[in-house]
Amino acid sequence: MSIIKLKPGFKDYMWGGHRLVEEYGKDFDGEILAESWELSCYPDTPSTIVNGVHAGKTLRQYIEEQGKGVLGTNCRRFEDFPILIKLIDAKSDLSVQVHPDNEYALKNEGQTGKTEMWYVLDAGKKSFLYFGFRKEISKEEFMERIEKNTLLDVLEAVPVKKGDIFFVESGTIHAIGKDILLAEIQQNSNVTYRVYDYGRVGADGKKRELHIDKALDVIKCVPADRNRDFYPHMADCDYFTVDKLTLDGDIMEEMKGCVSDASFMSVLILDGCGTISNQEEKLDFKKGDSLFLPAGSGSYRIEGTCTGLITTIREAKDKAEKLL
């Protein structure tokens, strides 16, 4: 079997909604579904294989049994599975937060840092997100504004619409706003330092924890670069490369390619339906499906009317660097 369909793990964070169930067909019984982890080897929220001889195994179990060769030669530099792919439904505002880089996270948290990208799937008419600072400020001013509850006054509030792309490097202050639905591709990490949370109370009746000291260590108090160009890709860095899949059933009826020994390929279907096939099998897919093609699985063909995200791992630009 060389085309694997995955069932996601779920997160019911308090700010979530129910659109991932209603619009993306997620099999979840709770009232709030904030995130579905579509491609995940993270220990507490893994993806699970639903087809073929490996059905019922987690993606991590499959990789451990088959060997890291299924990830590809470009993944040899990583000690663990390199990425995490999510769908996120923000019915309410997420906390204002920042993620550390690899060096800081490995030293202080025992896992990697977090650089990520967002692709906006839908947004309300007045939706916006915070992305970096409006102007450069000192860390002294940053602390003063936290103490005086005026931090939001110096953050860049960016209106968003369907199709927008954001590349969020570690150290960038940010917050996804309410009524935004998006796909997130990130490093395989769950380290987040909250700096502002609107005074919200958690399930335990207490205000949710902030992480001001650690945030101060890692934050870049400067404007974020909104105009980065990764052409011909949607996003491209040493951790992941993301490309758009668009088939209209007319002019673009199919996509053909080859999954080489260099990298696995993830396909996240955002809309529509179709089939994916290779020399061994043919598999139907629909909106919300997550597919994993192991490295070295060879040629494939995608047919249908659909849009999606294709994620691979390229060779590191600095070949001497080992990325964890």
Q: 27-36 contacts: CB < 8 A, separation 24 or more?
A: 32/91, 33/89, 34/88, 34/89, 34/90, 35/10, 35/11, 35/86, 35/87, 35/88, 35/89, 36/8, 36/9, 36/10, 36/11, 36/86, 36/87
Give me the average pLDDT of each 10-residue run along the chain (324 residues): 93 97 97 98 97 97 97 97 98 98 97 97 98 98 96 98 98 98 98 95 88 98 95 97 94 94 98 95 97 97 98 83 51
Q: What is the pLDDT of residue 55?
A: 97
d(CA 274, CA 175): 34
Predicted pLDDT at 250: 85
Cα distances (angstroms) measured from residue 256 to each of 2, 224, 259, 271, 302: 16, 36, 10, 19, 6
- Among candidates 10, 1, 95, which has minimal Cα distance to 294? 1
Residue 2 pLDDT = 85
pLDDT computed for residue 8 by the predictor? 98
Which secondary structure element, helix H or strand E, spans residue 213, and what is its range? Answer: helix 212-218
* The predicted structure's pLDDT at residue 205: 87
Rounded to whole angstroms, how far apart are CA atoms 198 and 83?
30
Complete DSSP assignment for 143-178: HHHHHHT-GGGGEEEEE--TT-EEEE-TT--EEPPT
Instruction: Return the active site residues.
Output: 194
What is the value of pTM for the model shown?
Answer: 0.96
Given this model, what pLDDT does residue 3 score?
97
Q: Of 53, 98, 57, 77, which Cα lies nearest the Cα of 189?
A: 98
Tokens of 230: 């990764």
Phi, then psi, of 275 in degrees rounded to 5: -135, 150
pLDDT of residue 319: 52
Instruction: Outline where DSSP puts E strands in the chain.
Output: 4-7, 9-11, 35-39, 48-49, 83-90, 96-98, 116-123, 128-133, 155-159, 165-168, 174-175, 180-187, 193-196, 235-236, 241-248, 254-259, 265-278, 282-286, 290-293, 298-312
Query: How, if at all, do strands 128-133 and 174-175 pair?
Result: antiparallel
**φ/ψ of residue 285, rounded to 5:** -140, 160
288-320 burial, b for 16+ CB within 10 Å, e for fewer? bbbbbbbbbbeebebbbebbbbbbbbeebeeee
Q: What is the pLDDT of residue 320?
A: 44
Topology of 7-69+80-218 in CATH? Jelly Rolls (2.60.120)
